[in-house]
Chain A
Protein backbone atom coordinates (compact mmCIF):
# COMPACT_ATOMS: atom_id res chain seq x y z
CA UNK A 1 0.00 0.00 0.00
CA UNK A 2 1.42 3.31 -1.02
CA UNK A 3 1.44 5.86 1.71
CA UNK A 4 -0.75 8.85 1.13
CA UNK A 5 0.85 11.88 2.66
CA UNK A 6 -1.10 14.58 4.37
CA UNK A 7 -1.43 18.11 3.20
CA UNK A 8 1.80 19.96 2.67
CA UNK A 9 3.83 16.82 2.07
CA UNK A 10 6.99 17.98 0.36
CA UNK A 11 8.05 14.49 -0.72
CA UNK A 12 9.52 14.60 -4.18
CA UNK A 13 7.36 17.49 -5.22
CA UNK A 14 10.23 18.58 -7.41
CA UNK A 15 10.21 15.27 -9.27
CA UNK A 16 11.84 11.90 -8.79
CA UNK A 17 15.21 11.89 -7.04
CA UNK A 18 17.01 10.70 -10.14
CA UNK A 19 15.59 13.62 -12.07
CA UNK A 20 16.84 16.09 -9.51
CA UNK A 21 20.38 14.81 -9.95
CA UNK A 22 20.37 14.35 -13.71
CA UNK A 23 21.91 17.16 -15.69
CA UNK A 24 19.35 16.81 -18.46
CA UNK A 25 15.79 17.55 -17.50
CA UNK A 26 13.06 15.44 -19.12
CA UNK A 27 11.66 18.57 -20.70
CA UNK A 28 14.74 18.85 -22.88
CA UNK A 29 14.22 15.40 -24.33
CA UNK A 30 11.83 14.66 -27.17
CA UNK A 31 8.44 13.27 -26.21
CA UNK A 32 8.23 9.51 -26.73
CA UNK A 33 4.89 7.92 -27.66
CA UNK A 34 3.21 5.99 -24.83
CA UNK A 35 3.16 2.70 -26.71
CA UNK A 36 6.92 2.83 -27.25
CA UNK A 37 7.53 3.81 -23.62
CA UNK A 38 5.43 0.84 -22.49
CA UNK A 39 7.20 -1.58 -24.81
CA UNK A 40 10.67 -0.39 -23.75
CA UNK A 41 9.65 -0.46 -20.10
CA UNK A 42 8.47 -4.06 -20.48
CA UNK A 43 11.72 -5.02 -22.15
CA UNK A 44 13.96 -3.40 -19.52
CA UNK A 45 11.82 -4.44 -16.54
CA UNK A 46 11.97 -8.06 -17.71
CA UNK A 47 15.73 -7.97 -17.15
CA UNK A 48 15.60 -6.53 -13.64
CA UNK A 49 15.20 -8.73 -10.59
CA UNK A 50 12.39 -8.24 -8.12
CA UNK A 51 14.51 -8.01 -4.99
CA UNK A 52 11.84 -9.34 -2.64
CA UNK A 53 11.05 -12.43 -4.69
CA UNK A 54 14.51 -13.50 -5.94
CA UNK A 55 13.69 -15.37 -9.13
CA UNK A 56 11.13 -13.08 -10.76
CA UNK A 57 11.65 -9.97 -12.84
CA UNK A 58 9.97 -6.74 -11.81
CA UNK A 59 7.91 -7.11 -14.98
CA UNK A 60 6.45 -10.42 -13.79
CA UNK A 61 6.26 -9.81 -10.06
CA UNK A 62 3.06 -8.57 -8.43
CA UNK A 63 5.00 -7.36 -5.36
CA UNK A 64 4.51 -3.74 -4.34
CA UNK A 65 8.21 -2.91 -4.45
CA UNK A 66 8.52 -4.46 -7.91
CA UNK A 67 5.64 -2.31 -9.16
CA UNK A 68 7.29 0.78 -7.73
CA UNK A 69 10.62 -0.13 -9.31
CA UNK A 70 8.84 -0.66 -12.61
CA UNK A 71 7.26 2.78 -12.28
CA UNK A 72 10.76 4.24 -11.96
CA UNK A 73 11.87 2.33 -15.07
CA UNK A 74 8.90 3.74 -16.96
CA UNK A 75 9.60 7.30 -15.82
CA UNK A 76 13.20 7.03 -16.91
CA UNK A 77 12.25 5.51 -20.26
CA UNK A 78 9.78 8.35 -20.81
CA UNK A 79 12.60 10.78 -20.01
CA UNK A 80 14.64 9.22 -22.79
CA UNK A 81 17.13 7.25 -20.73
CA UNK A 82 18.78 4.28 -22.36
CA UNK A 83 18.60 0.71 -21.11
CA UNK A 84 22.23 0.88 -19.98
CA UNK A 85 21.58 4.06 -18.00
CA UNK A 86 18.51 2.61 -16.30
CA UNK A 87 20.29 -0.63 -15.45
CA UNK A 88 23.23 1.34 -14.07
CA UNK A 89 20.79 3.28 -11.87
CA UNK A 90 19.53 0.09 -10.25
CA UNK A 91 22.95 -1.57 -10.08
CA UNK A 92 24.30 1.48 -8.21
CA UNK A 93 21.65 0.92 -5.54
CA UNK A 94 21.07 -2.82 -5.42
CA UNK A 95 24.31 -4.21 -6.78
CA UNK A 96 24.71 -6.36 -9.85
CA UNK A 97 22.40 -9.01 -8.40
CA UNK A 98 19.50 -6.85 -9.55
CA UNK A 99 20.30 -7.82 -13.15
CA UNK A 100 18.69 -11.17 -13.96
CA UNK A 101 21.42 -11.98 -16.49
CA UNK A 102 24.92 -11.49 -15.09
CA UNK A 103 27.20 -9.23 -17.12
CA UNK A 104 29.57 -11.31 -19.26
CA UNK A 105 32.80 -10.19 -17.60
CA UNK A 106 35.26 -11.51 -15.04
CA UNK A 107 34.07 -14.39 -12.87
CA UNK A 108 30.64 -14.20 -14.51
CA UNK A 109 32.16 -15.48 -17.75
CA UNK A 110 32.17 -18.90 -16.10
CA UNK A 111 28.38 -18.96 -16.34
CA UNK A 112 28.56 -18.39 -20.07
CA UNK A 113 31.62 -20.55 -20.75
CA UNK A 114 30.78 -23.65 -18.70
CA UNK A 115 27.84 -24.85 -20.82
CA UNK A 116 30.00 -24.58 -23.96
CA UNK A 117 32.87 -26.39 -22.24
CA UNK A 118 30.51 -29.10 -21.03
CA UNK A 119 29.07 -29.46 -24.53
CA UNK A 120 32.51 -29.77 -26.12
CA UNK A 121 33.70 -32.29 -23.49
CA UNK A 122 30.50 -34.29 -23.91
CA UNK A 123 30.90 -34.29 -27.69
CA UNK A 124 34.53 -35.42 -27.38
CA UNK A 125 33.45 -38.17 -25.02
CA UNK A 126 30.74 -39.40 -27.40
CA UNK A 127 33.09 -39.23 -30.41
CA UNK A 128 35.73 -41.21 -28.54
CA UNK A 129 33.20 -43.76 -27.42
CA UNK A 130 31.76 -44.23 -30.90
CA UNK A 131 35.26 -44.49 -32.42
CA UNK A 132 36.17 -47.24 -30.00
CA UNK A 133 32.93 -49.02 -30.76
CA UNK A 134 33.46 -48.72 -34.47
CA UNK A 135 37.10 -49.67 -34.16
CA UNK A 136 36.23 -52.75 -32.16
CA UNK A 137 34.06 -54.20 -34.93
CA UNK A 138 36.63 -55.09 -37.64
CA UNK A 139 38.86 -57.15 -35.36
CA UNK A 140 35.92 -58.62 -33.42
CA UNK A 141 36.33 -62.36 -33.21
CA UNK A 142 33.85 -64.21 -35.37
CA UNK A 143 33.21 -66.65 -32.53
CA UNK A 144 30.48 -64.52 -30.96
CA UNK A 145 29.55 -61.43 -29.05
CA UNK A 146 30.36 -62.70 -25.61
CA UNK A 147 34.10 -62.28 -25.99
CA UNK A 148 33.71 -58.89 -27.57
CA UNK A 149 31.45 -57.63 -24.84
CA UNK A 150 33.92 -58.59 -22.15
CA UNK A 151 36.76 -57.07 -24.15
CA UNK A 152 34.95 -53.79 -24.53
CA UNK A 153 34.07 -53.69 -20.89
CA UNK A 154 37.61 -54.40 -19.87
CA UNK A 155 38.89 -52.02 -22.40
Chain B
Protein backbone atom coordinates (compact mmCIF):
# COMPACT_ATOMS: atom_id res chain seq x y z
CA UNK B 1 0.00 0.00 0.00
CA UNK B 2 2.85 2.40 0.72
CA UNK B 3 3.97 2.46 -2.91
CA UNK B 4 0.43 3.41 -3.89
CA UNK B 5 0.53 6.29 -1.43
CA UNK B 6 3.90 7.41 -2.72
CA UNK B 7 2.59 7.24 -6.27
CA UNK B 8 -0.51 9.24 -5.34
CA UNK B 9 1.62 11.80 -3.52
CA UNK B 10 3.92 12.11 -6.49
CA UNK B 11 0.91 12.45 -8.80
CA UNK B 12 -0.16 15.51 -6.83
CA UNK B 13 3.26 16.99 -6.03
CA UNK B 14 5.02 16.61 -9.38
CA UNK B 15 2.61 18.71 -11.51
CA UNK B 16 2.55 21.43 -8.83
CA UNK B 17 6.34 21.51 -8.65
CA UNK B 18 6.62 21.49 -12.43
CA UNK B 19 4.15 24.37 -12.68
CA UNK B 20 6.08 26.33 -10.04
CA UNK B 21 9.41 25.68 -11.76
CA UNK B 22 7.93 26.77 -15.08
CA UNK B 23 6.36 29.88 -13.59
CA UNK B 24 9.36 30.95 -11.51
CA UNK B 25 11.70 30.55 -14.46
CA UNK B 26 9.81 33.10 -16.52
CA UNK B 27 10.22 36.83 -16.48
CA UNK B 28 6.70 38.15 -15.83
CA UNK B 29 7.52 41.26 -17.89
CA UNK B 30 8.67 39.27 -20.92
CA UNK B 31 5.43 39.01 -22.85
CA UNK B 32 5.38 38.07 -26.50
CA UNK B 33 4.05 40.91 -28.57
CA UNK B 34 1.30 40.06 -31.03
CA UNK B 35 2.68 42.69 -33.41
CA UNK B 36 5.53 40.97 -35.28
CA UNK B 37 4.24 39.82 -38.65
CA UNK B 38 1.36 42.30 -38.64
CA UNK B 39 1.08 45.57 -40.56
CA UNK B 40 2.82 48.33 -38.63
CA UNK B 41 0.36 50.83 -37.12
CA UNK B 42 0.57 54.08 -39.06
CA UNK B 43 1.34 57.40 -37.44
CA UNK B 44 1.82 61.02 -38.21
CA UNK B 45 3.86 62.75 -35.52
CA UNK B 46 5.44 66.16 -35.16
CA UNK B 47 9.17 66.51 -34.84
CA UNK B 48 10.52 67.72 -31.52
CA UNK B 49 11.00 71.39 -32.28
CA UNK B 50 14.58 72.47 -32.18
CA UNK B 51 15.98 68.98 -31.94
CA UNK B 52 19.72 69.39 -31.59
CA UNK B 53 21.37 67.51 -34.38
CA UNK B 54 24.77 66.20 -35.20
CA UNK B 55 25.07 67.38 -38.75
CA UNK B 56 22.07 68.38 -40.85
CA UNK B 57 18.96 66.23 -40.72
CA UNK B 58 18.60 65.16 -44.31
CA UNK B 59 16.51 62.53 -45.93
CA UNK B 60 17.86 60.01 -48.40
CA UNK B 61 17.40 62.41 -51.30
CA UNK B 62 19.38 65.09 -49.48
CA UNK B 63 16.41 67.39 -48.84
CA UNK B 64 15.84 69.03 -45.46
CA UNK B 65 13.46 67.07 -43.25
CA UNK B 66 9.90 68.27 -42.69
CA UNK B 67 8.38 69.19 -39.32
CA UNK B 68 6.23 66.10 -39.14
CA UNK B 69 6.56 62.52 -40.23
CA UNK B 70 4.07 59.94 -41.28
CA UNK B 71 4.84 56.29 -41.63
CA UNK B 72 3.01 56.11 -44.94
CA UNK B 73 5.53 58.49 -46.48
CA UNK B 74 8.23 55.96 -45.69
CA UNK B 75 6.61 53.03 -47.42
CA UNK B 76 9.08 50.86 -49.21
CA UNK B 77 11.83 51.69 -46.75
CA UNK B 78 12.96 49.74 -43.76
CA UNK B 79 12.07 51.69 -40.62
CA UNK B 80 13.61 51.50 -37.16
CA UNK B 81 11.29 52.96 -34.53
CA UNK B 82 12.95 53.58 -31.21
CA UNK B 83 10.83 54.59 -28.23
CA UNK B 84 12.95 56.49 -25.71
CA UNK B 85 12.62 58.86 -22.77
CA UNK B 86 14.87 61.30 -20.96
CA UNK B 87 14.10 59.52 -17.70
CA UNK B 88 15.13 56.14 -19.13
CA UNK B 89 18.61 55.06 -18.04
CA UNK B 90 18.92 52.15 -20.45
CA UNK B 91 18.23 54.53 -23.35
CA UNK B 92 21.64 56.16 -22.84
CA UNK B 93 23.44 52.95 -23.71
CA UNK B 94 21.66 52.50 -27.03
CA UNK B 95 21.74 56.10 -28.22
CA UNK B 96 25.27 55.83 -29.64
CA UNK B 97 24.71 52.54 -31.49
CA UNK B 98 21.40 53.83 -32.90
CA UNK B 99 23.04 56.97 -34.27
CA UNK B 100 25.89 55.00 -35.82
CA UNK B 101 23.51 52.56 -37.45
CA UNK B 102 21.31 55.41 -38.73
CA UNK B 103 24.29 56.91 -40.51
CA UNK B 104 25.62 53.62 -41.78
CA UNK B 105 22.31 52.34 -43.15
CA UNK B 106 20.89 55.64 -44.43
CA UNK B 107 21.92 54.96 -48.01
CA UNK B 108 20.66 51.38 -47.83
CA UNK B 109 17.08 52.58 -47.47
CA UNK B 110 16.67 52.49 -43.71
CA UNK B 111 14.90 55.31 -41.83
CA UNK B 112 15.38 55.78 -38.09
CA UNK B 113 12.93 57.57 -35.83
CA UNK B 114 13.07 58.24 -32.13
CA UNK B 115 9.69 58.63 -30.42
CA UNK B 116 9.71 60.32 -27.02
CA UNK B 117 7.62 58.34 -24.57
CA UNK B 118 5.89 60.14 -21.68
CA UNK B 119 8.34 62.97 -21.69
CA UNK B 120 8.15 66.75 -21.73
CA UNK B 121 9.50 68.13 -25.01
CA UNK B 122 12.03 70.29 -23.14
CA UNK B 123 13.27 67.28 -21.16
CA UNK B 124 13.58 65.15 -24.29
CA UNK B 125 15.43 67.98 -26.06
CA UNK B 126 17.78 68.48 -23.12
CA UNK B 127 18.51 64.79 -23.02
CA UNK B 128 19.32 64.63 -26.74
CA UNK B 129 21.59 67.66 -26.30
CA UNK B 130 23.42 65.96 -23.44
CA UNK B 131 23.77 62.84 -25.56
CA UNK B 132 25.56 64.93 -28.20
CA UNK B 133 22.73 65.44 -30.65
CA UNK B 134 20.93 62.98 -32.87
CA UNK B 135 21.28 62.16 -36.55
CA UNK B 136 17.71 60.91 -36.93
CA UNK B 137 14.45 62.75 -36.18
CA UNK B 138 12.95 62.71 -32.70
CA UNK B 139 9.14 62.79 -32.65
CA UNK B 140 6.60 63.63 -29.98
CA UNK B 141 3.68 61.33 -29.20
CA UNK B 142 0.79 63.23 -27.56
CA UNK B 143 -1.25 61.08 -25.22
CA UNK B 144 1.07 58.11 -25.90
CA UNK B 145 -1.32 57.18 -28.72
CA UNK B 146 1.38 55.79 -30.98
CA UNK B 147 3.02 53.99 -28.07
CA UNK B 148 -0.27 52.26 -27.30
CA UNK B 149 -0.79 51.46 -30.99
CA UNK B 150 2.54 49.65 -30.81
CA UNK B 151 1.63 47.87 -27.58
CA UNK B 152 4.49 49.50 -25.73
CA UNK B 153 5.22 48.17 -22.25
CA UNK B 154 8.07 50.50 -21.41
CA UNK B 155 11.21 52.10 -22.76
CA UNK B 156 13.44 51.40 -24.47
CA UNK B 157 11.65 49.33 -27.07
CA UNK B 158 12.66 49.23 -30.70
CA UNK B 159 10.59 48.09 -33.66
CA UNK B 160 12.03 47.02 -36.99
CA UNK B 161 9.56 47.47 -39.83
CA UNK B 162 10.17 45.71 -43.12
CA UNK B 163 9.77 47.13 -46.61
CA UNK B 164 6.37 45.44 -46.77
CA UNK B 165 5.16 47.74 -43.98
CA UNK B 166 4.92 44.94 -41.45
CA UNK B 167 6.53 44.74 -38.04
CA UNK B 168 9.45 42.37 -38.50
CA UNK B 169 10.95 42.46 -35.03
CA UNK B 170 10.32 44.00 -31.68
CA UNK B 171 13.22 44.39 -29.30
CA UNK B 172 12.69 45.04 -25.59
CA UNK B 173 15.56 46.75 -23.80
CA UNK B 174 18.55 48.64 -25.18
CA UNK B 175 19.75 47.65 -28.64
CA UNK B 176 23.42 46.91 -29.23
CA UNK B 177 25.57 47.50 -32.30
CA UNK B 178 25.61 43.78 -32.99
CA UNK B 179 21.85 43.43 -32.73
CA UNK B 180 21.18 46.42 -34.98
CA UNK B 181 23.59 45.09 -37.60
CA UNK B 182 22.16 41.59 -37.40
CA UNK B 183 18.51 42.68 -37.67
CA UNK B 184 19.08 45.27 -40.39
CA UNK B 185 21.32 43.03 -42.50
CA UNK B 186 18.71 40.29 -42.27
CA UNK B 187 15.96 42.70 -43.32
CA UNK B 188 18.05 44.06 -46.17
CA UNK B 189 18.67 40.56 -47.40
CA UNK B 190 14.95 40.00 -47.31
CA UNK B 191 15.23 37.08 -44.96
CA UNK B 192 12.75 38.44 -42.49
CA UNK B 193 9.61 37.94 -44.53
CA UNK B 194 6.65 37.21 -42.31
CA UNK B 195 7.56 33.92 -40.72
CA UNK B 196 10.82 35.18 -39.29
CA UNK B 197 9.02 37.77 -37.20
CA UNK B 198 9.97 37.63 -33.57
CA UNK B 199 10.17 39.43 -30.29
CA UNK B 200 13.54 39.62 -28.64
CA UNK B 201 15.06 41.04 -25.51
CA UNK B 202 18.51 40.73 -23.94
CA UNK B 203 17.55 38.20 -21.29
CA UNK B 204 15.65 35.77 -23.41
CA UNK B 205 15.19 34.87 -27.01
CA UNK B 206 12.00 33.57 -28.43
CA UNK B 207 11.92 31.47 -31.53
CA UNK B 208 10.12 32.43 -34.67
CA UNK B 209 6.42 32.84 -34.19
CA UNK B 210 3.94 30.88 -36.21
CA UNK B 211 3.53 32.46 -39.61
CA UNK B 212 0.17 32.70 -41.25
CA UNK B 213 -1.85 33.87 -38.28
CA UNK B 214 -1.37 37.55 -38.97
CA UNK B 215 -4.75 39.23 -38.88
CA UNK B 216 -5.03 42.89 -39.72
CA UNK B 217 -4.41 45.19 -36.79
CA UNK B 218 -7.40 47.40 -37.53
CA UNK B 219 -10.36 47.32 -35.23
CA UNK B 220 -12.59 44.36 -35.94
Contacts of B215 in A (CB 8 A): 92
The answer on a CB contact under 8 Å between B217 and A93 is yes
Interface size on B, residues (CB 8 A): 44
Contact of A52 among B38, B121, B149, B154 (CB under 8 A): B154
Least Cβ–Cβ distance between A141 and chain B, in angstroms: 23
Interface size on A, residues (CB 8 A): 35
Contacts of A69 in B (CB 8 A): 148
The answer on a CB contact under 8 Å between A9 and B144 is no
B interface SS class:
loop
Known contacts A5-B46, A11-B142, A89 near B28 by CB under 8 Å: no
Contact of B219 among A9, A51, A65, A89 (CB under 8 A): A89
Question: At the interface with chain B, which of A17-25, A30-38, A142-150?
Answer: A17-25
The answer on a CB contact under 8 Å between B46 and A8 is yes
Contact of A92 among B118, B119, B121, B217 (CB under 8 A): B217
Cα A12 to Cα B141 with chains together (Å): 10
Known contacts A8-B46, A93-B151, A95-B34, A3 near B121 by CB under 8 Å: yes
Least Cβ–Cβ distance between B150 and chain A, in angstroms: 7
Contacts of A101 in B (CB 8 A): none
Contacts of B145 in A (CB 8 A): 11-12, 16-17, 68, 72
Contact of A6 among B45, B49, B120 (CB under 8 A): B49
In the complex, B147 has a CB within 8 A of chain A: yes
Contacts of A88 in B (CB 8 A): 219-220
Contact of B41 among A8, A17, A65, A95 (CB under 8 A): A17
Contacts of B43 in A (CB 8 A): 17
Cα A89 to Cα B149 with chains together (Å): 9
Q: Which residues of A contact B (CB under 8 A)?
A: 1-6, 8-12, 16-18, 21-22, 51-52, 54, 64-65, 68-69, 71-72, 81, 85, 88-89, 91-95, 97
Instruction: List the 9 shortest-distance A-B pairs measured between CB atoms, nearest first.
Output: A93-B151, A9-B46, A21-B218, A3-B140, A94-B151, A68-B144, A10-B68, A6-B49, A97-B31
Q: List 24 A-B contacts (CB under 8 A).
A: A2-B118, A3-B116, A3-B120, A3-B140, A3-B141, A4-B142, A8-B68, A11-B44, A11-B68, A17-B42, A22-B219, A51-B153, A54-B28, A64-B144, A68-B145, A71-B143, A85-B219, A85-B220, A91-B34, A92-B217, A93-B34, A93-B35, A95-B32, A97-B31
Q: Which residues of B contact A (CB under 8 A)?
A: 28-29, 31-35, 38, 41-46, 49, 67-68, 70, 116, 118-121, 124, 140-154, 215, 217-220
